A and B are shown apart, each in its own frame.
Chain A
Amino acid sequence: MIESLEDLNEIAQKKLCAQGDCEDEIRVCIGSSCASLGSEDLSKEIAQKMEQEGLQKRCRVKGVGCNGLCSEAILVSHQKKGATSEDLYTNIEASQADDFIALLQNKKDLKEKLYDLQQAFFFKQKKIVLENAGYIDPNDIEDAIAHGAYQALFKVLDTMEPKDVLDEIKQSGLRGRGGGGYPTGLKWESVAKVHSDTKYIICNGDEGDPGAFMDRAVMEADPHKVLEGMSIAGFACGASQGFIYVRAEYPIAVEKLTKAIKQARKYGLLGKNIGESGFSFDIDIRLGGGAFVCGEATALIASIEGGRGNPRQKPPHLSDHGLFAQPTVLNNVETLANIAPIIQKGAEWFKNIGIPSSTGTKVFALTGHIKNTGLVEIPMGMSLRELVYDVGGGASGEKAIKAIQTGGPSGGCIPEEHLDISVDYDSLKKIGSIMGSGGLIVMDESSNMVEVARFFMDFCRSESCGKCVPCRVGTTELTDLLDKFVAKKASKSDYELLKNMCEVVKESSLCGLGQTAPNPVLSTLKYFEEEYLEGIADD
């Protein structure tokens, strides 16, 4: 049981000393991409062979969460004793355990697999949310503690009042990372000032946006960061119960979170009277069922309450009438993962990263026709061009990049010539896209933008919950219309109807799903109008 900061530090020290007995460390990425290529077996086999060779005192092996460079899976890094940086080996096969044994025995080097860490992919990133991803074993709370987990929670419990926490978060300028960009401090404050015996903190881990896996990586690689952020939110707002709503399609994330919660309870970091402070907080997991609309706040709550994920009209807002009709804070995984670092290092430190209107960093999942697909965390205010060409390494094939898409089915396409804008909430909105939760899909010249627009509209059509007419009927009609354009059978009047209906669906839908569903069409109409016009048959 951890009852004080001293106890926490003692565990960290003990763990670090125990680790000091080994000279080297080998870290095998067991994130989704690497795991699907068999990295877990590789990790086990290396450990087993080390024991056979009597190397276990020289080196320890651990499975770690995603390091980000998923396109080069499997990733294995080797940290030599005393070295400040690691050797990262990429494109490793699951059958290469023997090579690492030979490496440790200095019988072989793996130079051809060694990755140059001086590349822009690494040095242009700034890691806050993902600082521990790729370094700690997500199955071991003591490893997380040795890397600084729960320090912020004890700082809050020992030295701060709820109001101090609210002030710190407000001052940091942190905005919601789920896409909306609402200031987190204000959201918390509106719940903190409501008088109620029962309040809830919900973590939205329902990442339904196809092509995005940021939250999944955070939950799988560093689950304690999310738990700690929720506990601090509970302290600041006066809540004692939290829920993590996570997709059932993410079984590894569910497993890691479940394990993390169990361990945190065992160590007294969740539960009654945490650290003898009188503050109690516990967290339960609720599984989603794969419905995109459940990313919407009121729909998510309806789902936790056991019903269909139908959204409702707001107000009343969640701060008054949330889960089980109680005041509720709903934050995205990435938002909550920012909390502990802000408390630990201060609002001033956080404000110095990014730009004044969008502080801190943002995690992006780079996918599509781009060389370095994977997960990156960059300071806000970096230009999209830098993100795509430097960090992302540019186009993957021979064709040039045509456009990028942010914000998934709710976002928009941005043509190549606009890539010089800065990555922040307001700039992206200005040119007809949104920050979104962080999916960034790169498309080269081979992509047909009308087909892309239809893909997203069809997605919204099948994900519409059916409660309001503009969304239910509108997305169906729009999909049919776009089919005509793709088949090059549309008429001039179809073109007018398309534009018109986009406006109607946008203006009159009940919730965010319908209100933003036309965005991919509107933005491609704006920047790639000629592709729509090509689809018009002469009438």
Chain B
Amino acid sequence: MLPTNDDRYKMVEKTMKKLGYERSALIETLHTAQETFGYLEIDALKMIAKRLRLPYSKVYGVATFYHFFRLKPKGEHTVVVCTGTACYIKGANEILDKFEKKFGIKAGETTSDAFVSLLSARCVGSCSLAPVVIYDNKVAGKLTSQDALDKLEETLS
């Protein structure tokens, strides 16, 4: 059952209330839910569906359509490799390759011990710093693949 007394649900409820429980509030509500829970857990999606009078299939469909939404929790550390055009031209794929090999996971996955999530971004808009990697929300730019690996060690240690 839903822990309705959980404060985090109150945050989600607040967003829905602000937008008058309209069906169009769905995406805004999912943003709030992800922000408060860290990811969209199935129970939260079901709760949102009920409150906005939407079929669960619709809520699930929307949550899986947009890249920004996560249905699984993030690892302890998050490493995002930007693969936008400017970064691609300057060797982002090589960096991503090295990271994938290092952890044995693909972009978008989390290591089985929930230690690191490796993500790729379509473009973080810091193109003049290409290639860019974001280590736990800290942007590092103009990286060689060796720099990128060194910074990775630094972040994880």
Contacts and interface: CB of A to CB of B under 8 A. Distances in A.
A249 B130 contact: no
Contacts of B140: 36
Contacts of B145: none
A306 interface: yes
B121 interface: yes
Interface string A10-39: 000000000000000000000011001100
A100 to B, nearest CB: 23
B128 A374 contact: yes
Given A71-B128, A211-B84, A286-B27, A369 B65 contact: no
Interface string A429-456: 0000000000101010001000010011
A222 interface: no
B119 to A, nearest CB: 11
Contact of B123 (A212, A248, A308, A465): A212
A367 B141 contact: no
Interface in B109-157: 121-130, 138-141
A437 B89 CA distance: 19
Given A308-B61, A373-B128, A291 B85 contact: no
Contacts of A307: 26, 58, 62
Interface stretch (B1-9, B66-74, B94-102): B66-74
A180 interface: no
Contact of A441 (B27, B66, B83, B86): B86
A446 B28 CA distance: 44
Contact of B127 (A308, A367, A405): A367
Interface string B45-75: 0000000000000100110011111000000
B24 A305 contact: yes
Contacts of B88: 210, 455
Given A32-B125, A309-B65, A289 B84 contact: no
Contacts of B25: 306
A287 B27 contact: yes
Contacts of B127: 211-213, 365, 367, 373
A36 B126 contact: yes
Nearest to A72: B128
A282 interface: no
Interface in A189-225: 207-213, 216
B114 to A, nearest CB: 23
A33 B65 contact: no
Interface in A263-282: none
Nearest to A439: B85
Contacts of A32: 124-126
Contacts of B31: 248, 287, 289
Nearest to B129: A33
Nearest to A372: B128
Contacts of A304: 24
Interface residues of B, number: 38
A210 B85 contact: yes
Contact of A368 (B83, B89, B139): B89
A303 B27 contact: yes
A51 B57 CA distance: 58
Contact of B66 (A73, A289, A365, A367): A289
Contacts of A367: 85-86, 89, 127-128, 130
Contact of B124 (A70, A249, A456): A249
Nearest to A369: B89
Given A70-B128, A290-B67, A306-B62, A211 B28 contact: no
B6 to A, nearest CB: 23
Contacts of B139: 36
A408 B30 CA distance: 29
B10 interface: no
Interface string B12-24: 0000000000111
Contacts of B85: 210-211, 367-368, 405, 408, 439, 441, 455-456
B129 A292 contact: no
A70 B129 contact: yes
A216 B24 contact: no
A190 to B, nearest CB: 24
A528 interface: no
Contacts of A207: 125
A287 B31 CA distance: 8
Contacts of A289: 27, 30-31, 65-69
Contact of B141 (A36, A212, A306, A408): A36
A495 interface: no
A211 B128 contact: no
Contacts of A248: 31, 68
A151 to B, nearest CB: 30
B90 interface: yes
Contacts of B28: 286-287, 306
Nearest to B24: A306
A250 interface: yes
Nearest to B30: A289
Interface of B: 22-28, 30-31, 58, 61-62, 65-69, 83-86, 88-90, 121-130, 138-141
11 contacts: A208-B123, A210-B122, A211-B127, A216-B125, A248-B68, A290-B68, A291-B67, A306-B28, A368-B85, A374-B128, A439-B85
